[in-house]
Chains A and B, each alone.
Chain A
Amino acid sequence: MNDPADACAQLQQELVLLVTGDAPRSRRARQNLARALEQLGLGDIATREVDLAADPAQTLSYGIFATPALLRPGPNGQPDVLYGDLSERDMLERFLAEG
């Protein structure tokens, strides 16, 4: 059985983008995240990408099964999660702003 708490505990002040190789939605998520960070002047926020296709065990570790997904540190050690290809700019900006 997976224990997402272990993986999420590693989330410090960085963003984690869970992707699956070069799948279309993963590709779009990378692009949308990079564009948003740049436009919001948040280019200094550390962003780490985890390829679940290359390392499927990480899916179980994070307990995230819809991809792509953007994770940020949340209260009580649990990450906040934003699913999707991050194409909805308002949602993405709010997510980044609350972090």
Chain B
Amino acid sequence: MNEQQLIKRATDIPGLDAMTGGGLPAAGGTLMLGRPAAGKTVLALQILAHAIARSEGGVFVSFEESCAQILRDAASFRWGPSLAEAERFELIDARPQLGAEVSGAFDLEGLLAAVGLCLERRQASWVVFDGVDHLLRRQRNPLDAIDQVQQLSDWCEARGVSLLLTGKLGDAETAPTHLEGVEFMLSTLILVSTKLVGHRLSRRLRIAKYRGTAHVADEVAMIMDHDGVHLPHGHYAAQVATGRIEASTERLSTGVARLDEVLGGGLYRGSTALISGLPGTAKTTLAASFAASATARGERVLYLSFDEDQEPVVRNLRSVGIDLRGPLDRGLLHFAAREAWSGLVEEHYWALHQALDRLRPQCLVIDPISALLKAPGVDSAFVSIERILDIAHLRGITTVLTSLGTRDDPQGEATLSHTSTLADTWLALDFNVRGGERNRSLSLVKSRGSAHSNQVRELLLSERGIDLADVYEYGTEVLMGTARMQKESEVHAERRRRVLARQQRQHELERRLSQAEAEAAQLRQELALEQQDSVQTEQFDREHERDVLARRSTRTAHSDAPQGDETP
């Protein structure tokens, strides 16, 4: 059988449809087995409610609970009231009579006749037999019961109806008591289970069998809240399967200009930054600075705070010049506070996922992500963190995570949580204690896609905000605080001395240049006089020569004339 031959009907439970590749068989039975309180009835009711919401009819046959109990169960969910009032929904109380006895074998022909009537008048495409084992266990011969499960499925398959059969499992059972082997009868088998984790009830779901189609066979967390049942893993898998990660080159400011310089212009949009450090090293301040900067650009930010409520955070940040009240009031910042201990890891994950769906933020802050390690859960906190970051990447959400370290291992927890491996940028904050002072430091451990320096810098907090200061190495140490300021002062004085010396040298050169230029002018003047004198002398000499020549010429003429006429 291939995908084309198996027609499926969507349950509209995104995780389940993703895990089943489109839903449950459109014709025939799905067996859902689980321990009491595992969520079988709710899951079945929810599937019917969704079907009815999209104008498919549904029939629910209850073998264990009264109609009133079923409706009360449903009423605690968002879709419950509309299900109870739906015209295309029929609820049948099929509980065996109290005190009823059995004499020989019975069949389900009467049940099928009634269900056929209901399917027809409701134009239904779904039917649920909830707790059918409660009736079938009365069969003297278990093989009759198993045959009748097969009969129910075949009957629905022939009518093109989706059948959901639920049954109870005991501890370590793989089939309901007296129905051993039923798990082999139907082509689709879903197992739901419960487990106490840290005194909390954790529900799980596994598609143990789905013949004729690819499916996710992993056991996954099943969350139940006011909206009903959710399968976060399936929901995640569906997004990852269809999503595509973009690599933006746009840089986003952290709200700290000098840190942006260190990062080569800021954080890449859609990237993940981790800020790790001890308590009090300003992780929250730095993360909030990023959030405030994002809202200043008009972007939506989801700030998930573990273990600290909104108002104290807002007040504390105001003292360092970060205003979150304005963005909160403008609806750009959504602050969600959760207690890590108050829910399972998978519940925290799902709550965050729903908030991302609802708010569609451009930026996300989780402060601190390491709190998830405190939460109980069957799902690993590490896996949940990876999924959160995957979804953030897929949606192009720029994410800043903080992670709390300990004195013995300031950055260890971040490493442990794998977050540092997943993060594109890792800022490590710490304290530098020297000379009786405790100063905050920041170092950039890594920043993918950016040339950067690993040099430690001092993180300065003031009422004007955050800033970074260069620090000075002194032997094997770095200088911060007063020592850094003293060193800065020395450097400043030295620089000033060098400037003054340079200025003096320039003045001297200028003076010498002026003197030289004056001497040059005088020499030029002397030269001009000399040249003038030379010209005049040459002029005189030429005139004198002409005069001599003229006189000689005259004397020669006189000597050639007759003596009588000779002039004395």
Contact = CB atoms under 8 A, between A and B. Distances in A.
B99 A25 contact: no
Interface string A57-99: 1011001111111100010001111111111100110010000
Contacts of A53: 109-110, 113
A52 B114 contact: yes
B111 A2 contact: no
Scoring A18, A32, A69 by chain B CB atoms within 10 A of each residue's CB, the highest score goes to A69
B107 A25 contact: yes
Interface in B236-272: none
Interface in B99-122: 99-111, 113-114, 116-118
Contacts of B118: 60
B7 interface: no
Contacts of A25: 104-107
A87 B103 CA distance: 6
B67 interface: yes
A56 interface: yes
A19 to B, nearest CB: 8
A59 B114 contact: yes
Given A53-B113, A60-B92, A81 B104 contact: no
B117 A84 contact: no
Given A66-B138, A83-B100, A59 B113 contact: yes
A52 B114 CA distance: 8
A65 B105 contact: no
B138 A1 contact: no
B52 to A, nearest CB: 16
B89 to A, nearest CB: 10
B296 interface: no
Contact of B104 (A18, A52, A64, A85): A85
B98 to A, nearest CB: 8
Nearest to A79: B97
B493 interface: no
B109 A20 contact: yes
Contact of B108 (A65, A84, A86): A65
A82 B110 contact: no
B219 interface: no
Nearest to A50: B110
Interface in A17-71: 18, 20-21, 23, 25-26, 28-29, 32, 52-53, 56-57, 59-60, 63-70
A83 B108 contact: no
Interface string B107-151: 111110110111000000000000000010010100000000000
B390 to A, nearest CB: 46
B104 A66 contact: no
B96 interface: yes
B110 A67 contact: yes
B18 interface: no
A83 B102 contact: yes
B91 interface: yes
B113 A88 contact: no
Given A83-B102, A84-B103, A88-B103, A2 B92 contact: yes
Contacts of A4: 93
A20 B106 contact: no
A52 B95 CA distance: 17
A23 B99 contact: no
Contacts of B113: 20, 52-53, 56, 59
B301 interface: no
Contact of A86 (B91, B99, B104, B135): B104
A1 B114 CA distance: 12
B2 to A, nearest CB: 37
B1 to A, nearest CB: 32
Contacts of B138: 66, 83
B102 A84 contact: yes
B27 interface: no
A21 B166 CA distance: 28
B352 to A, nearest CB: 41
Contacts of A1: 67, 90-93
B400 interface: no
Contacts of B117: 56-57, 59-60
Contact of B110 (A28, A66, A86): A66
A76 B506 CA distance: 120
A79 to B, nearest CB: 7
B179 interface: no
Contacts of B114: 52, 56-57, 59-60, 65
A20 B111 CA distance: 10
B105 A87 contact: yes
Contacts of B95: 63
A53 B323 CA distance: 74
B322 interface: no
B94 interface: yes
B258 to A, nearest CB: 71
Given A56-B117, A65-B135, A68-B106, A82 B101 contact: yes
A18 B95 CA distance: 16
A61 to B, nearest CB: 9
Contacts of A95: 101, 103
B110 A52 contact: yes
B465 to A, nearest CB: 66
Contacts of A68: 106-107
Scoring B95, B100, B118 by chain A CB atoms within 10 A of each residue's CB, the highest score goes to B100
A67 B107 contact: yes
A2 B100 contact: no
Closest 9 CB pairs of A and B: A87-B104, A20-B109, A59-B114, A67-B110, A84-B104, A56-B113, A91-B103, A81-B100, A85-B104
8 contacts: A52-B109, A56-B113, A65-B61, A66-B111, A80-B97, A84-B103, A91-B103, A95-B101
Interface of B: 61, 67, 90-111, 113-114, 116-118, 135, 138, 140
Given A1-B91, A64-B97, A83-B106, 7 more contacts: A25-B104, A32-B104, A60-B114, A60-B117, A66-B108, A85-B103, A85-B105
